Structure 1
Amino acid sequence: MNYSKLGRSGLAVSRVCLGSMTWGVQNTQQDADEQIEFALAQGVNFIDTAELYPVPPSGEKYGHTEMIIGDWLRRQPERRKDIILASKIVGPGLSYIREGRKVSAESVIQAVDASLRRLNTDYIDLYQLHWPNRTSPHFAKHAVGRVNFSATDTAAETAQMLEILQALNTCVEQGKIRFCGLSNETPWGLQQYLNLSEQYNLPRMVSMQNEFSLLHAKDWPYLLEHCVAEQIAYLPWSPLAGGALSGKYLNNQRPAGSRWSFEQRNGIFRDTANTALAVAGYVDVATAHGLTPCELALAWCDGVDGVTSTIIGATNMLQLRENITAFSKPLSEQVKTDIASVLNQYPAPF
């Protein structure tokens, strides 16, 4: 296993980050235990979760994934030191989580304490803002014109960011969290947080967790350049585009128990005609070079300049083994050329 620095935190994280959002809906406690044990045995030391999980989110299951990880830690607390644990606070919009209100200083304190209880730990290594208070171009809103940026009150948003940073600083000073990060943010949002941290001597964001894959490469090059220049760890989520890049949804297939067989909060917005064409192209490239489609997609993601650790998820051990193996299979120049040909043809299929 290879490792990279998590921004300026000084922490060395595995190039593979074990995602957990299926634990509690598609996976049981026993499944999660098995995944954690296997990942650790392969050298993975980075686990990502969120108060929102599992996905699809629901009031009934809210916080359940953290509780599953907490159950594992409860049974073997001595192994807490073996993992770098990341979690997130929900942004606004879900009525069953703090009545859907925006993130505030009060909600940061509440959410951190609640996550610590569910996780059965005294501290969280990386605490992230799951999405901004303002409407941002993520979650099916990245098409041109979907977000009216001119309507944003930037002064008010910046004031909220300062309030959030001050609350995070309180948690850092109390030893409840070690480092802070962002998720589903933009270059403007990142820079505002960096400016505020410097101006007010508050915790500096060390990471950015955004959707990134062969089907959703919008953060290249501008945000990735920003992250590299500012020493911000870039953590891609959904590197298989919700499983689409495995090829299992081609020809309108919906395998039982797969992600697309569940109702989605924002609908299955990745399911477009161009997505199918792009995936078919990548499947052909993988087959031609003796790789599985998942190996191709994950190895590509790992090889993008600026990527620190790629968040993978699996609903069974076969998938997890395949996914982790992908990171030990660097792509040849010919494979990269063939991938680029498909990517140039379908740069934004959904």
Structure 2
Amino acid sequence: MKFTTLPKTDIKVSKLCLGTMTWGNQNTQEEGFAQMDLATDKGINFFDCAELYPVPATAETYARTEKIIGNWFKKTGKRDKVVLATKIAGPGDYTAHIRTNGFSPEALKDAVNNSLNRLQTDYIDLYQLHWPERQTNTFGIRDYKHHSEDRWLDNFNEILHSLNEIIKEGKIRQIGISNEKAWGTMRYLEESKTNKLPRIITIQNAYSLLNRVFEGDMAEISIRENVGLLAYSPMAFGVLSGKYIKGIAAKNSRLKLFPRFARYSSQQATEATKHYLKIAEENNLSLAQMSLAFVTQQPFITSNIIGATTIEQLNENIESIHLALSQDVIDSISKIHIKFPNPSP
């Protein structure tokens, strides 16, 4: 395994992070245990979860993933071997069953305390805001369009003050954001610097061969401000395994179970995937490992969040850490990206 540190800390984390959002829905607790066992045996020490998980979010399955992780900590006694990240759910139509008071002081305290109980731990290493409270462009929307009816009031300062109090209580160590944009990221950094408040150290956004929008403004912010990217969906919901275009996807694969998750299934995305598959095959690589290695070696990446529904998939994904893409492969990928730029924003 390869390691780095969370920006501006001495917290050592593996370059691959174990994603967990299928546990409690697509995966049973026993399967989640097996994945954590394999990941730690292979050197991964970084787990990412969220109170929202598993996905898709429902009141019935709410917080099952955190409970599974907590039960594994209790069974194995390995809490001190893991750098643990989780998130508070942002406001939205499909999170009304969780709470409706956004990132208010009361909401943050409630969310942290409940996560600690479920995870059976007394501290969280990295606590993240799952997405912005304000209305901004999100999944599948390319451009920002201002919503005149948006009643959100600037509360970056209040959020950081609330998190500061929780940090002082020893319940969380570091903070991060997720699904954020350039403006929001810089506002958090500005508030922390100006008012001597806790500083965000990571941002968790989508990044893959089919979605490289992070390489715009966000990559510059990440590098110049030292806010590391925790890349999620590096396999584009499994599309970048090639199993869908080959017609070999299992019946319980994500897109067959939940066809509404079609973010990476457009005609352009499918054509781009075919081209990436050809590059992999011409270089005797698996498309999955090529896709993951491309993400892992980017200069703004702190850790690449990998997930799987089977042990075999997870093992293949973990082994990608040993793959260094040649310049010829990188050049070939760049040509496809020019032809099909970000087909799945």
**In which range does the TM-score fall when normalised by the shorter chain?**
over 0.9
Q: Which runs of 5+ in 1 are unaligned?
A: none
TM-aligned CA deviation for residue 215 of structure 1: 0.3
Matched residue, 1:44: 44
- 8 Å CA contact 1:56, 1:262 repeated in 2: no
Q: Which runs of 5+ in 2 are unaligned?
A: none
Q: What residue identity is the alignment partner of 1:87?
A: T
Q: Which 10-residue stretch deviates more, 45-54 or 247-256? A: 247-256
The CA deviation string for residues 129-181 of structure 1, in whole angstroms up to 9 with x for no partner, is: 0000012322222x23xx42364879x543x2211111111110000000000
Alignment of 1:58 with 2:55, yes or no, is no
Q: Which residue of 1 is the match for residue 98 of structure 2?
A: 97
SS in 2 for 1:241: coil
**Structure 2 residue aligned with 1:277:** 271
Deviations 1:316-336 (A, max 9, x none): 111011001111110011111
Which sits farther off after the overlay, 266-275 or 223-232?
Answer: 266-275
Q: Tell whether the 8 Å contact from 2:237 to 2:254 is kept in structure 1 after alignment.
A: yes
Distance 1:311 1:151 in 2: 35
CA distance in 2, matches of 1:188, 1:152: 19
The one-letter code matched in structure 1 to 2:169 is: Q
Q: Secondary structure at the match of 2:68?
A: helix
Give the match for residue 167 of structure 1: 162
1:18 aligns with 2:24: no
> What residue in structure 2 maps to residue 86 of structure 1?
85
1:177 matched residue in structure 2: 172
| TM-score normalized with structure 1 length | 0.94
Aligned residues of 1:133 and 1:157 also touching (Cα < 8 A):
no
> Are 1:182 and 1:209, in contact at CA under 8 Å, matched by a contact in 2?
yes
1:105–1:192 CA distance, 2 compared to 1 (3 A): same
Contact 1:126 1:178 in 2 (8 A): yes
Take 1:224 and 1:26, find their aligned partners in 2: how far apart are those partners? 33
Q: Check the 8 A contact 1:69/1:119 in 2, yes or no.
A: yes
Aligned partner of 1:321 in structure 2 is 315
- Secondary structure at the residue paired with 2:243? coil
Name the CA distance, whole Å, in 2 between partners of 1:103 and 1:332: 44
Q: Choose 42-51 or 218-227, whichever is displaced more.
A: 218-227
The alpha-carbon deviation at position 254 of structure 1 amounts to: 5.3
1:270 CA displacement: 2.1
1:71 aligns with 71
SS in 2 for 1:327: helix
SS in 2 for 1:68: helix
The 10-residue stretch of structure 1 (185-194 or 83-92) with the greater mean CA deviation from structure 2: 185-194
Aligned counterparts of 2:191 and 2:73: Cα–Cα separation in 1: 35
Report the Cα offset of residue 249 of structure 1. Answer: 1.5
Taking the aligned partners of 1:39 and 1:186, their CA distance within structure 2 comes to: 31
Counterparts of 1:121-200 in structure 2, within 5 Å, are 121-141=121-141, 143-144=142-143, 147-149=144-146, 151=148, 157-158=153-154, 160-200=155-195
C-alpha distance in 2 between matches for 1:12 and 1:135: 34
Aligned to 1:338: 332
| Deviation by residue 1:254-303 (Cα, 9 ceiling, x = unmatched) | 53111101236x64232111111000001100000011010110011111
What is the TM-score when the length of structure 2 is the normalising length?
Answer: 0.95
Preserved CA contact (<8 Å) 2:123 2:172: yes
1:219-256 CA-partner distances (Å, limit 9, x unpaired): 10321111111111111000011111111121677531
Q: Relative to 1, partners in 2 of residues 1:87 and 1:27: Cα closer, same or farther, differing over 3 Å?
A: same
The correspondence for 1:214, drawn from 209, 213, 222, is 209
* More moved, 203-212 vs 222-231: 222-231
Percent of pairs with identical residues: 39
Q: Deviations over 1:55-80 (max 9, x none)?
A: 11111000000000000011233x11
Aligned length: 342
Q: Is residue 263 from structure 1 mapped to residue 258 from structure 2 by the alignment?
A: yes
- Which stretches of structure 1, 4 residues or more, deviate above 4 A after TM superposition? 251-254
What is the rounded CA distance, in whole Å, between the counterparts of 2:103 and 2:288 in structure 1? Answer: 36
Contact 2:255 2:261 survives alignment (8 Å): no
Distance 1:137 1:153 in 2: 13
Distance 2:32 2:264 in 1: 27
Asked if 1 retains the 8 angstrom alpha-carbon contact of 2:136 and 2:145, the reply is no
The answer to whether the Cα contact below 8 Å between 2:135 and 2:150 also exists between their aligned partners in 1 is no
- Residues 134 and 152, structure 1, Cα contact 8 Å, conserved in 2: no
Match of 2:281 in 1: 287
Question: Measured at CA, do residues 251 and 73 of structure 1 come closer, stay the same or move farther in structure 2, by a change above 3 Å?
Answer: closer
CA RMSD of aligned residues (A): 1.6
Does the aligned pair in 2 maintain the 1:272–1:349 contact within 8 Å? yes
